[in-house]
Structure 1
Amino acid sequence: MRFTGMFTGTLLAGVLLLGTAGGAAADDAPSPSATSSDTAGSAGGPTEAGTSFGTAAAFQPGRRATADGSTGDYLYWVFPVDAGQRATVTAKVTLPGSTARQGAATWQVDVYDGLRRRQPCVQGAQTRAIAPGAGTVELRCTLRTVRAWAEPWANDPLPGSYYVRLTVLNAPQSDLGLPVRAEIEAATTDMGGAHAVGGRLAAPLTPGATTSKDEAGVSVSRTSPAGAEPEDGWSSGWWTDRWIWTAAGGVICALAGIAGYSLARPSRRRAGLPPGA
């Protein structure tokens, strides 16, 4: 009876710990950032785009960036992504009426990291062809999970600035220059401790100030908007939900050891000893 009570208590403690750890893991489970119209409005989002990496317009994930441009322009934006997050970029292009356009066109959205390396899309259609009569085209690109650090030879996405470039790949010559309106949104998902690694970069990949010369040949220093960081700061650190599972596993192992000892030790009655000896 004594062993049965101890073993039952051990099992109940293990189930309780697993439930606690499971609840914590559920709290840390991947959940996309808010991207609804209530939070992704124009507040805080830029209303114009850059024309190069150096002039990219910065915005935060969960905000909507808009810009008016012309067919054939290269439009650039930039937003921050931290370690352990997976970013999804969506783009919507509104085109002029079908009477103004002469033919079909193909639009594409590309995403580059802080080293200006083009990152592949693991989900979504980043390239779409639009018929002459269509009024809008929507594009989507989901990146790989950002790692806290990587080997120098690897092309893994790293924490820092991520550039979005939107442009038309091919269009009739007569359609180039027609006005378009672009909307860009980015959502980040926390992928949890399963993607945590034992290391991190000394600093995120965010380009700093650049120096160039104006038309008069005078050196001008400009601070790139790509230096913007997440609203809650860069959170790459030592803490992940792996610590919860490690601690829970240690406690369960200790309880299992106690139960095993209670099961394996010889009974006093079996050894012929009096109960009080």
Structure 2
Amino acid sequence: MKVRRTSTLFVLGLIVLLGLLHPTVSEEIRTAGRMEDNRCICTFIPPYIAADSPRSNSVQCPAGSTEDVPFLKREMEFLQQHHIANRKQLNFQTERLQNVSVHIWRLEERYRERLGQQRTWEVRLLSLIEENKQLRGAVFKQDENLKLVTSRLESMTRELTYLRDLNWRIQFRVQQESLKNKMYRQTVEEIRKRLFAAEGDVGEFLWALTRVLATMPLSARQKLHEMVALAQTTPTEEPEKAGKPNASWEPIPTDPTEEEREFVATPKPRRRSVKKMPGT
């Protein structure tokens, strides 16, 4: 842009200088016979008068006279002065034209320099345009990568949301199972207490039964054993086998020393205190 402005100013200056020179030449051509500041303003071309014209000198003065000599001398002096003035004017105009030519040459040099600068700037501009294209391509790729990362992040967010919901459900199920487990532990504890109580009752019953059997005679014991064997037989067993006493049965000893030994070996059971299990 600066080079174009410089070239435009150069052309305008040249036109102005030519415009200044042209009116002076036209004024010299159109003006006749006067001098201003050692500057002749005339054309040296008299107006054309035809030979047969009534204003023609040949008609008015067919032959010259001696009175015209001083006039011709004055005219010659005037012409010489005009010639000298015109030489000075020509030198001055030549000098001005030389100055204008130098100025035009300098403007041309500046124009060439600016043109070279403009070319360098155009090359830089082309390189910048190419870099801009590359940067746009890189930005487009980064935008695509960012879109991929954003979509991946959204999918991961959805997965995390699903996993969080699943974790919440699992925690809820774990809490429910924990409550159920606690209830089961309480139930097991109650059953264990009942079992301990039942074991105590069974122990007392066995102790009482042992004492009762120890006081019974041998015949009564055998009869009781036969009754128990009959109760334990199945319907498919034969009657003779069902009625026989068990071969492994041994009678309870009735010796007082045996009774004392048995009594000492099997003391009366006591109820055990049920302790709480840890974690209940």
* Same fold? TM cut 0.5: no
Determine which structure has the larger helix proportion and give its number: 2
Q: Which structure carries more relative contact order (alpha carbon 8 Å, separation 6+)?
A: 1
Q: Which has the larger radius of gyration?
A: 2
Please give the TM-score of this superposition, normalised by the length of structure 1. 0.30
Please give the TM-score of this superposition, normalised by the length of structure 2. 0.29
Determine which structure has the larger strand proportion and give its number: 1
